[in-house]
Chain A
């Protein structure tokens, strides 16, 4: 029996100990009406060798970024991941552990999370971070709930330029709270219209939520928005691309109250959308209102430094229906990946990755514009931009995929009216040669 150690004798002995004749006796308390007497409709079991072969062939029917030149983004990015990251993730002591409820035998996981929290605060310019959330979208939704809870206001202003999928999740998270209202802040030329925001902002506003760089890759006037919110009760929530923070100002330095984002680019593979991690950081005064796990440093009875899960009274297992959120886990292994990534890349490496993404994206942008492609928006951008295409963007993506180029994300996925928009992301991995070939093919289409 696979993964099961019991010999026939073990089973007989154990049943005998219980005064039972067979397994059927174990199920005596399950009423016959709800007993399942059939056999589950599942395929026949496979040996390890067969299993690996079967799944390898399934994987083989997918086109991997590893064998393509990818310009896809829109919330998940093909950044470089040093080998060291996965080697650490494969330490069984990390990946087969549970939530660190017993701190005496979980110092590894706890210290990793503490280091991760420290790195996230450095990156974002905030005071404290939690141990991570499910992904960028749910982190944004939790920020909306937290802002409502902190301010006791009912209106959440969300920039129209935020990732539409993230907005969907915010809407779903707030469905059960009929008293709350989500209002979209209009955009002008691909970024938040400051005067439009000013008009919407009132005494009942709990939060203003923006994404920097925004969904279309454009840079928002996030400092001006920060100024606008300075003396307001509303919390300033910024969803940030963590790699961009290698060159872009830390949101903590322009007035953000909550900074969060999709953490995937920090050392996590694309994996068809998950598991990723949402990072979440706040200013000091909100620490006790922050959702999710948090690790703190303390001392043991001998005075030795150690780490514990702390501020647990915010959580569901104590507060039950009054908890700040129902979340009871974090994406610990993804946070580990992020911590190892940020350690290996370090101060200079993160800057370098950000700088190269920025420079290479601008190179490609100029080359595409030079051959006649029109950009959708023309504001400053970081590593991602949208061009208008003559043929449906979907066709271009399909055509080039056959040639091993993932040309970008066709935006009709998000909005049928955007069928001639192609969103292109460039990371530090792309070489000039790859981009020149891509431009040449785009010239043919």
Chain B
């Protein structure tokens, strides 16, 4: 039996009087609501939530799950996202009552295990990144960027400097310029050179005393290691600026090269990319930020410290930027990443990067005849192809080829990013995929390149056998329909 291809709304299963929960009886004397809550504040009409049974809930959400592609069900070479396998034991660990059931304001002596975990994890990430201290408050990579740039801002302000500009390469993730703007900086774009790295001459052009820093991903979004990193660091430091490392691509460098040694002053890691925690359909992630000594005073409070006997929260950072999260960040995600690092150790992490990079180069080598390869160099954990040949010769867009991959049960690569490559296809196989899977992917990609020449319509109409076919995004954006409403005819089955 094949999975259902569509599912009603949970609201459509609702029947008055059905119940999917049970609570204890109210065992205290019940007071009249109006004696406890002012009349003006009493809800007049109950929220129109579904009334369904537990089995309705289970079936509905189980069927919905089956409409998803996921790492657990198939290959997911989505560039820049590091869709590696998510070890199951880590899920069990995060659900241990001693982790899942602790309140963030419990007395420190009742959470020593959790504090120890944060303390040790900080040391692991500091070692991997070549940094001095780490905060776990940022809940995602973009949140880490925000935190990191605010730290740099605080550093300059403490020296009495009002710098106004942040440099961002043209190949950067969109979050980089958005973050710079959010932190009150003018974002200044610097061009890429012919080898895909930062164009040093262009960098020199924009450098001056107003520059607060540079945000860089290395390997960059083209999957290429910027060989001039030392020179870049010297130039930025030369005008008093700092270097921010966007850790999106750290899966390539574990135990191979450390951002701290490259000259970076601030780093964020994506635990949900590099350290095997699941992406959850878009979150929760975790974006811890590591810094060099000179930025430690500005870290968000609290830090976790150890006095030789007990672990404790340290709120004593008078120059701190304050807080960027209600509590201490996405703790449960951190436990999973901690377990991942403890399972692999130093040797295992290095192998992760070796094989991630080997897998990427292997696939690149076998596809570079069939697709344009704008930067023909050894790549790191990912590489970028261009579909411009297929577009020009066959009128097939990269989007069409991506959609065709869905018919084979493969999640497409990241498309149309980075912006500096026309019709970009960014492929990141990750280390957890076998040679057989890669060979199969290569054969499918070759078939699609052939179809582009021989039968372009099959691509333009793809996908053919997914739960839904191409969706009308224009009308979704013109007349936004963002919620279910009971009485709308067009929403009824």
A and B interact physically: yes
Please state if A26 and B351 are interface contacts (CB–CB under 8 Å).
Answer: no
Question: Is A63 a contact of B26 with CB atoms below 8 Å?
Answer: no
Whether, in the assembled complex, B60 has its beta carbon less than 8 Å from a beta carbon of chain A, the answer is yes
Chain A residues whose CB sits within 8 angstroms of the CB of B64 once the complex forms: 107-108, 111-112
Query: With A134-B325, A274-B328 as given contacts, are A92 and B282 in contact (CB-CB < 8 Å)?
Result: no
Q: Is A300 a contact of B470 with CB atoms below 8 Å?
A: yes
A63, B111: Cβ atoms under 8 Å?
Answer: yes
Contact of B468 among A91, A300, A331 (CB under 8 A): A300
Decide: B256 and A30 in contact? CB cutoff 8 A.
Answer: yes
In the complex, the chain A residue whose C-beta lies closest to that of B96 is: A59
B328–A272 CB distance below 8 A:
yes
Q: B128: shortest Cβ distance to chain A, in Å?
A: 6
B467 touches A107 (CB 8 A): yes
Most buried by A among B89, B341, B468: B468
Q: Which of A46, A107, A165, A401 has the most CB of B within 10 A?
A: A107
Give the most central of B46, B47, B111, B342: most A CB within 10 Å: B47
Number of interface residues of B (CB under 8 A): 207
Taking the closest CB of chain B, its distance from the CB of A348, in whole angstroms, is: 6
A interface footprint on B94-110 (CB within 8 Å = 1, 0 otherwise) = 11111111111111011
Q: Which residues of A contact B110 (CB under 8 A)?
A: 62-63, 401
A102 adjacent to B107 (CB under 8 Å): no
Interchain residue pairs A-B with the least CB separation, the first 3: A273-B327, A59-B98, A92-B72
Q: Are B342 and A272 in contact (CB under 8 A)?
A: no
Residues of A within 8 A of B135 (CB): none
Q: How far is the CA of A24 from the CA of B263 in the complex (A)?
A: 23
Would you call A95 and B278 a contact (CB within 8 A)?
A: yes
B323 touches A169 (CB 8 A): yes
B111 cross-chain contacts in A, Cβ below 8 A: 62-63, 272
| Highest count of chain A CB atoms <10 Å: which of B83, B282, B414, B463 | B282
Given known contacts A30-B257, A62-B99, A88 and B62 CB-to-CB distance under 8 angstroms: yes
A437 at the binding interface (Cβ < 8 Å): no
Q: Mark B137-175, 1 if CB is under 8 A from A, else 0.
A: 001111101100110011000000000000000000111
What is the CA–CA distance of A385 and B41 in the complex, to the nearest angstrom? 18
Judged by a CB distance under 8 angstroms, whether B42 is at the interface is yes
State in angstroms the CA–CA spacing of A65 and B104 once bound together.
11
Task: Please determine whether B365 and A18 come into contact, CB atoms closer than 8 angstroms.
Answer: yes
Complex CA gap A410/B66 in Å reads: 46
Extra pairs beyond A3-B276, A169-B326, A413-B105 (11, CB < 8 Å): A36-B255, A40-B128, A52-B89, A63-B102, A88-B65, A98-B76, A172-B323, A274-B331, A294-B480, A296-B477, A323-B178
- Residue A328 at the chain B interface, CB threshold 8 Å: yes
Interface centre among A4, A45, A65, A432, by most chain B C-beta atoms within 10 angstroms, is A4
Contact with A along B336-368 (1 / 0, CB 8 A): 001101111111111110110111011001100
CA distance A1 to B354 in the complex (A): 12
In the assembled complex, which residues on chain B have CB atoms less than 8 Å from the CB atom of A285? none
Contact B61 A112 (CB under 8 A): yes
Asked if A103 meets B468 with Cβ closer than 8 Å, knowing A58-B117, A59-B113, A84-B57, the reply is yes
A151 at the interface (CB under 8 A from B): no
A23–B102 contact, CB under 8 A?
no
- Those of B168-225 within 8 Å (CB) of chain A: 173-175, 177-185, 187, 224-225
A129 engages B483 (CB within 8 Å): yes
Please indicate the chain B residues that have their CB under 8 angstroms from the CB of A310 in the complex.
Answer: 473, 476-477, 480, 482
B128, closest chain A residue (CB): A40
Question: Which of A201-209, A228-236, A355-363 contacts its partner?
Answer: A355-363
CB distance from B359 to the nearest CB of A (A): 8
Query: Which residue in B70, B105, B343, B431 is a CB contact (below 8 Å) of A51?
Result: B343
Can you report 23 residue pairs joining A to B where beta carbons are below 8 Å apart?
A27-B256, A45-B342, A45-B343, A58-B114, A93-B70, A98-B411, A103-B471, A104-B403, A115-B9, A115-B11, A122-B47, A122-B49, A165-B323, A270-B101, A274-B333, A297-B491, A298-B472, A300-B471, A311-B477, A342-B49, A344-B21, A346-B20, A432-B28
B435 touches A34 (CB 8 A): no
Closest CB in chain B relative to A268 CB, distance in Å: 10
Q: Any chain B CB within 8 A of the CB of A275? A: yes
Is residue A210 within 8 Å, beta carbon to beta carbon, of the partner chain?
no
Q: Which residues of chain A from 4 to 46 have any CB-CB distance to chain B below 8 Å in the complex?
A: 4-6, 10-11, 13-15, 17-18, 23, 26-31, 33-36, 39-46
Alpha-carbon distance A398/B202, docked complex (angstroms): 60
Question: Is A72 among interface residues, defined by CB-CB distance under 8 A?
Answer: yes
9-residue interface stretch from A73-81, A153-161, A192-200, A368-376: A73-81
- For residue B7, give the distance in angstroms from its CB to the closest CB of chain A: 7
The distance from the CB of A273 to the nearest CB of chain B, in whole angstroms, is 3
| Nearest-Cβ distance from residue B145 to partner chain A, whole angstroms | 7
Residue B267 lies at the interface, judged by CB distance under 8 Å to chain A: no
**Which of chain B's residues 25-76 have a Cβ closer than 8 Å to chain A?**
26-31, 33, 36-38, 40-44, 46-52, 54, 56-58, 60-62, 64-73, 76
Cα separation A58 to B187 with both chains bound (whole Å): 44
B483 to chain A, nearest CB (A): 4
Of the candidates B36, B256, B278, B347, the one whose C-beta lies within 8 Å of that of A358 is: B36
| Residue B425 lies at the interface, judged by CB distance under 8 Å to chain A | no
A304 x B6 contact (CB < 8 A): yes
Verify if B433 is at the interface (C-beta below 8 Å from A): yes
Q: Does B7 contact A111, Cβ atoms closer than 8 Å?
A: yes
A343 touches B57 (CB 8 A): yes
**Contact between A297 and B279, CB atoms less than 8 A apart:** no
Contact in complex: B85, A3 (CB < 8 Å) = yes
Report A414 CB to chain B, min CB distance, Å. Answer: 9
Contact A329-B411, Cβ < 8 Å, known A23-B358, A105-B69, A272-B328 = no
Which residues does chain A contribute within 8 Å of B24, judged by CB atoms? Answer: 356, 428-429, 431
Q: Indicate whether A186 reaches chain B with its CB closer than 8 angstroms.
A: no
Nearest residue in A to B432 (C-beta to C-beta)?
A3
How many whole Å from A385's CB to the nearest CB in chain B? 12
| B378 near A26: Cβ-Cβ < 8 Å | yes
- Residues of A near B324 (CB, < 8 A) are 138, 169, 172-173
Residues 386-445 (chain A) with a chain B CB within 8 angstroms = 394, 397-398, 401, 406, 409, 413, 428-429, 431-433, 435
Contact A343 B20 (CB under 8 A): yes
How far does the alpha carbon of A178 sit from the alpha carbon of B157 in the complex, in Å?
A: 12
Within 8 Å CB of A274, what residues of B?
139, 284, 325-333
Q: Bound state CA distance, A119 and B47, in angstroms?
A: 8
B468 to chain A, nearest CB (A): 4
Contact indicator A115/B322 (Cβ below 8 Å): no
Is B93 engaged at the interface, CB distance under 8 Å to the other chain?
yes
CA distance A175 to B182 in the complex (A): 10
Chain B's nearest CB lies how many Å from the CB of A1?
6
Q: Does A152 contact B (CB under 8 A)?
A: no
Q: How far is the CA of A434 from the CA of B329 in the complex (A)?
A: 31
Q: How far is the CB of B189 from the nearest CB of chain A, in Å?
A: 9
Tell whether A217 is near chain B: CB-to-CB under 8 Å. no
> Which listed residue (A176, A222, A362, A433) contacts B41, Cβ 8 A?
A222
State A397–B475 Cα separation when bound (angstroms).
56
Q: Which residues of B (295-318) have their CB < 8 Å from a CB of A?
A: 300
CB-CB under 8 A from A30, the residues of chain B are: 225, 227, 256-257
Interchain CB contact under 8 A, A131 and B475 = no
